[in-house]
Chains A and B, each alone.
Chain A
Amino acid sequence: MLRYLPSRILKALKHVNFNNVYELRLRQNKPISINENGKLYYINTLVTHEEIEEIVYNLCKKSIYSFEEQIKRGYVTTENGIRVGLSGEFVINNNSVQTIKNFTSLSIRFPHQIMNFASKFVNEIYNDGSVLVISKSGVGKTTFIRDFSRCLNKKKNINTIIIDERNEIASFNDSFSFDVGTNVDVLTYCNKNFGFNQAIRTLNPDVIITDELMSVEDINGVIMAILSGVNVTATIHAKSLSDALNKDFMRGAINLFNYYVLIENTGSNRILTIFDGKGKEICKY
């Protein structure tokens, strides 16, 4: 990611330890904002509009048109699974986003593979079924399901399909990918609707893993999979179990999942609370 940054910004960031950084925000005419281990601080270097445009251009390998579909959804994902959220001027055509131009800020999320983050759950608690992982943004849902896939594949010899809509879970490309296990097929940049259909019809899955359920269409895909005998592990943005289950689009999903995993942030640590399918707490660690 650093090679896409202009030299002036790189110089300002030379003392930052990126192993601990969750998020870097670059906003036009504002200081650089860094989230390191859950703590927010600023570097007093103002980012210019031209620098933001240059970063986007470099991120897209000088080919913004080839990242059109991602840009329409408001992000670009780099080859190392780093997701860069884009803010700027949205160009709307026939009620749909055609593109974003005049970028004004970038939200750069650094993924971390934390080995054994899900191992206790997989090895000591999980006994088949579908799982919903719940937390607020940036707390570790994607990190959890990434490790869940790896640990589950180590424990059982099953076909795992990952619908990786933003290429954040496995981050597959020519030279890099996170360790998500051996018997895993990844549908990269595939939307969930198509992904669920494709996986069930042609890929013989035992479990489908995806992230960020956000709509009725997403839930319909999950229902279709579970009714086809496929376990689903997915994530949802929410601050609590009740908050997750009360979302409008989740109405059709009550009693679908066998486990709920709530991840909470306590600064540099995470607390995982495991609930059964009826919402009863099993354990906390």
Chain B
Amino acid sequence: MQILRLIIGVLAIIIFTKIGVNRSKIHEQIYIYYSDLCIFCNYYISELKFSKQQLKTLLNKEYASSEFLLTLNSFFSKKNNEIQYFPLFLSEIELNKLNSFFNIIGKGDSESQKGLISSFLEDFTNLKNLKYNELTKYKSFYKKLGFYVGLIMLIMVI
């Protein structure tokens, strides 16, 4: 009986630590999403300055975030008034900003696009830095929280 309680307690530590790790991964996903967004903007500005290849060529670049790739793919494949894909972890304000961004890209000559995208890039870079700070702050916090909750469960069970 005592051994069973111990096993349950250890399992609780493992499960709650895992929950904590997963929770912290969301912050990592958000940070990587904004990193890829900034990379996309930089590639785009580079195209506007030089070879002016179509936006779709930027799909073939290396992006770490599968969520960002989904966003890009849905942008290129959507027709008329279809809704574009955005990940669930974005807040409403962030969603509105991204909608504005995808509503203007490709819709003007290179000079006007350079100005607009540079402005968005600045905002996205600030957001990326903010998300990085949140990531460093909460990454170990959630892991420890999960562990301690599991530990409390173990103590309670024993």
Chain A: residues with CB nearer than 8 A to chain B? 6-7, 54, 57, 60-66, 68, 71, 98-99, 101
Contacts and interface: CB of A to CB of B under 8 A. Distances in A.
9 contacts: A7-B80, A54-B80, A63-B54, A63-B56, A64-B108, A64-B109, A65-B113, A66-B53, A101-B108
Given A60-B106, A68-B52, 14 more contacts: A54-B80, A60-B54, A61-B106, A62-B55, A63-B53, A64-B107, A64-B108, A64-B109, A65-B109, A66-B47, A66-B54, A66-B55, A98-B109, A99-B109
B48 interface: yes
Interface in B80-112: 80, 105-110
Interface of B: 47-48, 52-56, 75-76, 79-80, 105-110, 113
Contacts of B110: 65, 68
B109 A63 contact: no
Contact of B106 (A54, A63, A99): A63
A61 B107 contact: no
B114 to A, nearest CB: 9
A62 B56 contact: yes
Given A61-B55, A62-B56, A65-B52, A6 B108 contact: no
Contacts of B52: 65-66, 68
A99 to B, nearest CB: 4
Given A6-B80, A7-B80, A54-B80, A61 B108 contact: no
Contact of B108 (A7, A54, A65): A65
A61 B109 contact: no
Nearest to B76: A62
A-B pairs with lowest CB-CB distance, top 8? A63-B54, A62-B106, A65-B110, A99-B109, A63-B55, A63-B106, A66-B52, A61-B54
Contacts of B48: 65
Nearest to B114: A65
A24 to B, nearest CB: 19
B80 A64 contact: no
A60 B109 CA distance: 11
Contact of A65 (B56, B75, B79, B106): B106
A76 B109 CA distance: 14
A66 B108 CA distance: 9
